[in-house]
Amino acid sequence: MFFSRRRVAETPQEATDTPCYLRTHQVTVTVDLPDGGNQRILDSVTVRLEAPRTAVLGLNGSGKSTFLGLFNGLVHPSEGTVEVNGVDALAHPHKARQQVGMIFSDPAAQLIMPTVREDIELSLRRNPTLTRKQRLHKAHELLTQRGIEDKQDQSVFSLSGGEKQLVALTSVLATDPRVLLLDEPTTLLDLRNRLNLMRHFNTLNQMLVISTHDLDLAAACDEAIILHEGRLMAHGAAADTVRTYRNWCSHGFPHEHTRGGAADTLGSDDE
């Protein structure tokens, strides 16, 4: 099992915070095509996520990455509303982004400084009260927590895939997000590095929303949703939703893409 069913002990900060949640209401994302037409990437998606760990399932092109991007401002909806812990992400994008961290399938996309420690130090610049010396010291502490302090003076380009993902995770955690969005974080990893990364995820207090094709990982989450052709098809307990997804992948997805139908069957919170 990747995740324990109980979360780790609350931090003092977490204990005083209101519970985390992400919410979309009637969100549609449309992109323009070169031929002058347009394509809907997400279609009238309404969902509220508040479980400690939620998997986002769907075939390639189903809208998973676009869905995650709504919550940190990478994607702007054509219609609808997006909330991050009660903050309107469209009206107050900076305030929403401060609560969200994101990790991509290819960590090279977010590691930009010459050395590992400098990359973490860059994230720590969001705290204006820290001097550069303090930031570098804090970076060392954070890398030690992840067990990769011996890599701090190495080039990020010399690291293995698993090490790069741990550096990316450390860099994101340095900003103290309440929510982590993980976009297929294990896709480029071998089994050993995948299991190691999952062990690190299991120590985190943050709410996790994980886009993945790994059904074992998805089943170990608390809840899961299924996106298909941009529509929300199901939302419920992870194990039940994974079984439904396996069945649809084998025998075909429902022809009637009625919002909320399949989701209600699995106990969705959708409105």
Domain spans of the chain, in order of start:
16-99+177-265, 110-176
Res. 271 pLDDT band, cuts 50 70 90: very low
Which three-class secondary structure state does DSSP give residue 140?
Answer: helix
- Residue 227's pLDDT is 98
User: CA 85: distance to chain centroid?
Assistant: 15
Q: What is the mean pLDDT of residues 178-187?
A: 94
More confident residue, 11 or 79: 79
Q: What is the mean pLDDT of residues 173-180?
A: 94
- Residue 4's pLDDT is 58
Distances (CA, A) of 118 to 6, 111, 166, 265: 34, 10, 15, 49
In this predicted structure, the answer to whether residue 97 has a pLDDT above a threshold of 50 is: yes
Structure tokens at 263: 């989701």
Structure tokens at 137: 């010291």
The amino acid occupying position 187 is: T
In this predicted structure, the answer to whether residue 9 has a pLDDT above a threshold of 80 is: no
In this predicted structure, the answer to whether residue 154 has a pLDDT above a threshold of 90 is: yes
* Spatial separation of the C-alpha atoms in residues 2 and 199, rounded to whole Å: 7
Q: What is the mean pLDDT of residues 5-11?
A: 44
- Residue 36's pLDDT is 86
**Domain 16-99+177-265 in CATH 3.40.50.300:** yes
Handedness of CA 81, 82, 85, 87 (dihedral sign): negative
Per-residue pLDDT of 227-257, as tens digits, reads 999 999 999 999 999 999 999 999 999 864 4
Res. 31 pLDDT band, cuts 50 70 90: very high
More confident residue, 225 or 19: 225
Q: What is the rounded end-to-end Cα distance, in angstroms, of the chain?
A: 32
Q: What is the mean pLDDT of residues 145-150?
A: 90
- Residue 263's pLDDT is 55
* Spatial separation of the C-alpha atoms in residues 143 and 74, rounded to whole Å: 27
More confident residue, 113 or 260: 113
Per-residue pLDDT of 184-194, as tens digits, reads 998 888 888 88
- Residue 199's pLDDT is 87
